[in-house]
Homo-oligomer: A and B are copies of this chain.
Amino acid sequence: MNLSETKRELILDAALVLFVDRGFDGTTVPMISEKAGVGAGTIYRYFENKEALVNTLFQECVGELIETINDGYPRTSDDLREQFGHIANQVIRYAKKNLNALLFLDSHTNGHYLDEASREAYMRLRTFLCEFIERGQKNKVIRPLPADALIALMDGAFIALNKCIKAGEIEETPELLAGVKEACWDAIRIH
């Protein structure tokens, strides 16, 4: 890893935290440069402008999340419960590694500054999850509700859980994670 790769990372990391805390429009370039410990002008050596920065960040976060979920995904299995478990485990793993990335994705999916590539990247993630939902619905395992609603339901639970963990309000234990996973599964499956 060379030095400027490091600088690029510093900028992305600083931006991520600030975007989560204050949103894209509430974050100024000087804020990012200060938190990153680089000059304001340096940001423009790595990103064309502020919008390019947020889009790069978004696409990298989505890409990494998709990769994480895909990693070891039991594609051939027809046990939806098992597939669900894998997805949940990997999302938890992703959050553990970079919680802010998950929060960033959650809160920036509708940003007016997202470009086509970002929207497409996000679509790939969404499509993946929708396909899972629809397969389950075809198999009469998952409720016949809008996929968006079911995804949001799971999403909301994981995000909130992780916020609690981040805020130190609750302790992360295997039982807790298992409980949330079960709650989500109970929410979307047919009883």
Contact = CB atoms under 8 A, between A and B. Distances in A.
Nearest to A175: B144
Contacts of A182: 143
Given A148-B163, A163-B148, A184 B153 contact: yes
A163 B156 CA distance: 14
Q: Which of A25, A144, A151, A184 has the most CB of B within 10 A?
A: A25
Given A112-B21, A146-B170, A187 B26 contact: no
A183 interface: yes
Contact of A149 (B24, B26, B180): B180
Given A112-B21, A153-B157, A183 B26 contact: no
A89 to B, nearest CB: 17
Q: Is the interface of A mostly helix, strand, loop or mixed?
A: helix
Contacts of A21: 112
B25 A183 contact: no
A183 B176 contact: no
A145 interface: yes
A23 interface: yes
Interface string A130-172: 0000000000000111101111111111011101100001100
B149 A112 contact: no
A188 interface: yes
Interface of A: 21-26, 107, 111-113, 143-146, 148-157, 159-161, 163-164, 169-170, 176, 179-180, 182-184, 186-188, 191
